[in-house]
Amino acid sequence: MRKQRFVSVNLQKWTRRRRFHISRHIFWVVLVLLMAGNFTYADAQTRPNVKLVLQVTIDGLRADLLNRYGDGFGKDGFRFLMKKGIVYTNAHYQHANTETIVGHTTLATGAFPSQHGMIGNVWFDREAGELAYNIEDPDSPIIQTRENVSKGEQVDPAQKKSRTQGRSPAVILAPTFGDGLAAYYGGRSKIFGVSGKDRSAVSMAGHVGKAFWYSTNTGDFVTSTYYYDAYPDWVSKWNAQRKAERYAGKSWSLLNDAPAYLLGTQDDRPYEADLRGYGRVFPHPFGQANDTLFYTRILVSPIGDQLTLDFSKALIKHEQLGQDEIPDYLSISFSSVDAVNHFFGPSSLENEDVVVQLDRTLADLFAFIDKTVGLKHTLVVFAADHGMADMPEYMTELGYKAGRLDPDEIVAAANQAGRKFGVDEIVRFFYRPYLYLNDEKIAAEKIDRMKVEHFIADALTDLEGISLAVASSRLSAQQTNPLQEQVRNNYHVSRSGDIYIIQEPYWFLFDKGPVAAMHGSPWRYDTHVPIVFMGPGIQPKTVHRRVHPVDVAPTIAALLGMTPPGSAQGMPLEEVLNRKMK
């Protein structure tokens, strides 16, 4: 008994003491939780500081070009961005088909093409039995800006495949960062995409935002009925000024004297393309405004980027972006570096000059943003949609083995392999990089589809200039070749073809047509892009670890305290999130 009592007294004492300890612990736990909440979920400083998310994408800016042409930069463009921002030097796309719509949609959604569905600028529509241009939408025609527009000649090989003039994000299967921003703020954020190209404006504006892009028919910035019933007044006024037309009879001239350039001697090269009178050497004459290539030539020069900026400034002003506490979103995708790459190649004097002039355009953009919104309230997100390959002829000249593959020969080789199974003309369609087989013929002959696919893929892999042909049916199996992961990330069940063809490095999967150079391979020169974040509280830093463009949208979302876009696969970049608290 006594013993028991003794125990119970002690127990009482112990619990009393313990209760005191527990309540003290709870106090600290609650305090820490409150503080943690302060620095993550309820950070009052995050939202008011970012009034504008400005996503700047440079079409075709391979990451190394920023080093290569650095001597020609002023202090307020690229240098300012790299001095003030977190610079990722080792960012690579993880999909195989490194094309414009694929890269832009990946940046916008944080998803792989397998989820967002933009597997290429062009794919074969099996149901319709013809090629489909990525953002084509017959139900959303472009709103005309002028009467009796004389149609410009189309030299963009992807645009050429479009069947109608309608454009919308309807076929993009994943939500973008902008879509999420609209949802988060109850539709109060203003969301816009502007670009020299339709696909780069539409993909970044997402499903909720509004898009404007440069027309190579008129030099106007246009939109479609998906976004508007009629042009806002300020757009009509901007277009009425006919700013592109002011360059009629003028030329693209070098910003500096040729010897000032690293590639000063790389001007006249026989394998560069001539846009009928635009020439291979400086100065490049734009021709007269009634020339059907006039507005295309403008885009294939630094003027294309300057007009894109000029239109964006008008948009920022008239739509009053970044003027209140609800963050707005503006994507500007500059298209002229890519356009110049396609005609002159990424190792041309033209390429160096267009990047150096873009540096001045960026300086102009940053100064304008600082004046209107304030850079201290702007999160600048900078990247590129893909890199660029040097031309096979240039690489051959340097001593590297490379060439161009004739698409007809690829089809012939595949058909020949198909005959082993008793099927004539087994290829239904080929458009790089996908080969589509004829389902009806394969079904009629009752042959093992997998066997045929693998046999043809192996036959194509044997061709000179082809590194690997991957049968889609092989993608799910355990594989050892890292290229197959990129092909898998690119695979969408209804849009992708049956066999993905990968060329050897520096080989092109197309014949020389109006354009001379082409990106789109899974090789590093096509996957390597710059990624930079600059904005309030972001501590300048250079980061060399491997990161990916799918990380970009989740990073912006995390920085604003939002959940990532629905299909995003990337991870928020820690260096950006660890910003300085005031």
> What mask, x for binding Zn ion by CB under 5 A, covers residues 562 to 581?
--------------------
Neighbouring C-beta atoms of residue 443, cutoff 10 Å = 10
- The interface with Zn ion within residues 189-218 (CB under 5 A) comprises none
Q: Which stretch binds Zn ion (CB under 5 A): 143-151, 217-225, 339-347, 384-392?
A: 384-392
Q: Tell me how far, at minimum, the Cβ of 428 lies from Zn ion, in Å.
A: 27
Q: Tell me how far, at minimum, the Cβ of 60 lies from Zn ion, in Å.
A: 5
Q: Which stretch binds Zn ion (CB under 5 A): 264-272, 282-290, 380-388, 522-530?
A: 380-388
Nearest CA to 131 out of 504, 434, 549 is that of: 434
Nearer to Zn ion, 335 or 569 (CB): 335
> What mask, x for binding Zn ion by CB under 5 A, covers residues 100 to 139?
x---------------------------------------
Nearer to Zn ion, 337 or 560 (CB): 337
Q: Tell me how far, at minimum, the Cβ of 376 lies from Zn ion, in Å.
A: 31
Q: Tell me how far, at minimum, the Cβ of 301 lies from Zn ion, in Å.
A: 17
List the beta strands (DSSP E) in 244-327.
251-252, 284-285
> What mask, x for binding Zn ion by CB under 5 A, covers residues 18 to 57?
----------------------------------------
- The interface with Zn ion within residues 81-100 (CB under 5 A) comprises 100
- Per CB under 5 A, the list member of 338, 350, 498, 575 interacting with Zn ion is 338
- Per CB under 5 A, the list member of 56, 58, 59, 358 interacting with Zn ion is 59
Handedness of CA 343, 346, 352, 357 (dihedral sign): positive
Q: Tell me how far, at minimum, the Cβ of 325 lies from Zn ion, in Å.
A: 35
Nearer to Zn ion, 101 or 330 (CB): 101
Taking the alpha carbons at both ends of the chain, their separation in whole angstroms is: 64
**At 398, which helix (H) or strand (E)?**
helix 392-398
Contacts of residue 169, defined as CB under 8 A and 6 or more positions apart, other chains included, come to 135, 202, 203, 205, 206, 207, 211, 226
Q: Tell me how far, at minimum, the Cβ of 552 lies from Zn ion, in Å.
A: 16
Q: Does 385 bind Zn ion (CB under 5 A)?
A: yes
Q: Tell me how far, at minimum, the Cβ of 121 lies from Zn ion, in Å.
A: 8
DSSP letters of 152-206? PPP--TTGGG--SSEE-STT--S--HHHHHHHHTTT-S-EEEEESSHHHHHHHHT
**Residues that contact Zn ion, how many (by CB under 5 A):** 4
Q: Tell me how far, at minimum, the Cβ of 341 lies from Zn ion, in Å.
A: 9
The DSSP bridge partners found for residue 542 are 87
Neighbouring C-beta atoms of residue 304, cutoff 10 Å = 31
Q: Which residue is nearest to Zn ion (CB)?
A: 100
Contacts of residue 565, defined as CB under 8 A and 6 or more positions apart, other chains included, come to 108, 109, 110, 111, 174, 175, 176, 177, 179, 180, 553, 554, 557
Q: Tell me how many helices (H) and strands (E) the chain has.
A: 21, 19
Give the Cα separation of 130 and 317 in Å (integer): 42
* Chain residues in the site for Zn ion (CB under 5 A): 59, 100, 338, 385
